[in-house]
Structure 1
Amino acid sequence: MPASVSPRQARPVDHLVLPTASLDAARERLRKLGFTVAPEGKHPFGTVNVCTYLADGTFLEALAIGQRETCEHAAIRGNVFVTRDQAYRFRNGEEGFSALVMGTEDAKADHSAFVKAGISAGKILNFSRAFVTPDGTRDKAAFRLAFAADLRAPDVFFFAVQRVRVPAVDRSALQRHENGAIAIREVVLSETNPTDFQYLMQEIVNERDVNAHSFGMDIRAANANIAVLTPAGLKAFLGAEAPQGRGLRLQGVVFAVHDLEKVEGLLSANGVAFEKRSARIIVHPAEGQGATFAFEA
């Protein structure tokens, strides 16, 4: 590699966006799965969320519509986040898994890179919102988002998020979970022919190395694996059925936990159906849980 060319540095997975019809349902479902859930957050463009934070710095964002009229006005004004959320709900219903979010230190540079690569989904979004911890501590968080998408895959979108202002609060209590989850180990997508989307995923993760195999392909983000599996691979690894038709779909997430036996006991006690597959415990989607969740030690 010429000295003038800088090597790529893979982006980390930041969080996952899981649309839901009801934050109450999502909160209750996550609680039964053994997760600690943060207080409700409100976006200035009409959506609301509850988040589940993990010790590795990643999190889940259960997203609902708070003020529909505000969302519609934001979409008209070109807010890509709201527009893509509305499109996802129209095509797939109120429960699901719509976006993979990568972390970045420079969303403006990422936006330029997405434009150059031909995968930009629209203009940058800057916004801030209040942040409240369980003990009532308040602060403000500010973000800058750069979006990417592929017209061949209308049911998934991606963005890189830069934390322009980080709340000065202690999240340690929110990162402790009864199920012992400590990290997102893998994010799983599906597609009939995964390598058709190899270039897109390389640009999203900012990583050239791809491990292609008989069930699909893996791309390593800075902190987790991104797997794009064929329908057969999805069935083999997660026991899930791929939807009909072409296009990338976000399907599941694999969590690293301390003790699988503890997870099994907790799920049984809470009446949550699960299956054991290889060294994983798998919980299939339900109201408030739009993706397949897998737990492994």
Structure 2
Amino acid sequence: MIETMPARPHSPGPYPPGACPLDHLVLPTANLGVARARLDSLGFVVAPTGIHPFGTENCCVFLEDGTYLEPLAMGNAQAAAKAVADGNVFVARDRAYRDSCGNEGFSALVLGTQNADADRARYVEAGLSAGDMLSFSRAFTDAAGNSDTASFKLAFASGAGATDAFLFACERINAPKVDRSALQVHANGATGIVEVVAVSSEPSEQRRLISIATRSPATGQGSSTAFDLPNATLTLLDPVAFETRFGIPAGAPSELRFAGIVFSVRFANTVAKLLAASSVEHDIRGDDIVVRPASGQGAAFVFQEKA
């Protein structure tokens, strides 16, 4: 299968040993066309459709800081059903999420790793493994027409019985160099993801899962807990704290649900003007521009001006 598949290796680089860096976020959607149109209206450049070898497909939004969004849809139901039967945790968890929460949402936070085997061993030891590892390769072609193969190894973590959210570590076994600079220049001026916000009706019960998965200790307590990753913050809020901060209902009670993404942008005024021109409803809450979830946008999008 051929697809446009920018990939980047994870190296020790600027990241200190310890906490895992944020890699990308998985946003289930019923239709990539709807997701593409919605993201375009928010001022994002959306990459060409990518095809997985196990029935799912995506249209990613890549950011300058190396993180990205992965809107995910079902492309081949027969291939996906076979993947689930064969024990593919990624597809099985996507199906479980859709069965529980519907076809629009935010199902997974993905962490970069250099050793997925070691991560799975940690998950198993802690009783938090969500299933077998997944190794796969897929062909891609870049904008210049050059073809190569990218290979990945994934290890999954989840709380017992939870279907609304999971985390996984992604190791790039083979990560060909691809120029994706044209895909990282967005009309809204977004440059990266600075925070991911999760909601839990029992946040104290989720701290251990997140801390082990991210290799980051929890800070704070009560209604708000933070986990510092090398390139972003993961914040865990109770439903009242989430609604107070963003002015958006937290939804049905959940053990753990990813609910918000905070983007750094160059100029807040640029975002506000763009959203108004696109007739996208938004709220100004202090320094935040908040856009509620919609079809093709499975989470609250929050834009913050950063120097």
Gaps of 5+ in 1: 1-6
How much has 1:263 moved relative to structure 2? 0.3
- Tell me if structure 1 keeps the 8 A contact 2:164–2:254: no
Q: Is residue 155 of structure 1 aligned with residue 164 of structure 2?
A: yes
- Identical residues among aligned pairs (%): 47
* 1:37-56 equivalent positions in 2, closer than 5 A: 37-56=46-65
- Tell me if structure 2 keeps the 8 A contact 1:54–1:183: yes
Q: Is residue 234 of structure 1 aligned with residue 242 of structure 2?
A: yes
Q: 1:137 to 1:202 in 2, by over 3 A?
A: same
1:86 aligned partner = 95
Q: How big is the alpha-carbon RMSD for the aligned residues of Structure 1 and Structure 2? A: 1.4
* 1:208-227 equivalent positions in 2, closer than 5 A: 208=217, 210-227=218-235
TM-score normalised by L of structure 2: 0.91
Q: Which amino acid aligns with 2:72?
A: L
Q: Which amino acid aligns with 2:220?
A: A
C-alpha separation in 2, matches of 1:244 and 1:124? 31
TM-score normalised by L of structure 1: 0.94
1:287 aligned partner = 295
- Tell me if structure 1 keeps the 8 A contact 2:29–2:296: yes
- Tell me if structure 1 keeps the 8 A contact 2:140–2:149: yes
CA deviation vs aligned residue, 1:45-65 (integer Å, no higher than 9, x gap) = 010001001111100000000
- Tell me if structure 2 keeps the 8 A contact 1:23–1:50: yes
* 1:69-84 equivalent positions in 2, closer than 5 A: 69-84=78-93
How much has 1:215 moved relative to structure 2? 2.8
1:3 aligned partner = none
1:31 aligned partner = 40
* 1:117-196 equivalent positions in 2, closer than 5 A: 117-134=126-143, 136-196=145-205
CA deviation vs aligned residue, 1:100-125 (integer Å, no higher than 9, x gap) = 11110111111111111110011110
CA deviation vs aligned residue, 1:4-35 (integer Å, no higher than 9, x gap) = xxx96000110000000100111111111111
Q: Which amino acid aligns with 2:121?
A: S
1:57 aligned partner = 66
Secondary structure at the residue paired with 2:235? strand
C-alpha separation in 1, matches of 2:46 and 2:88? 27
C-alpha separation in 1, matches of 2:225 and 2:168? 21
How much has 1:132 moved relative to structure 2? 3.7
CA deviation vs aligned residue, 1:74-115 (integer Å, no higher than 9, x gap) = 000000000000111111111111001111011111111111
2:267 aligned partner = 259
2:107 aligned partner = 98
Q: 1:33 to 1:69 in 2, by over 3 A?
A: same
- Tell me if structure 2 keeps the 8 A contact 1:153–1:249: no
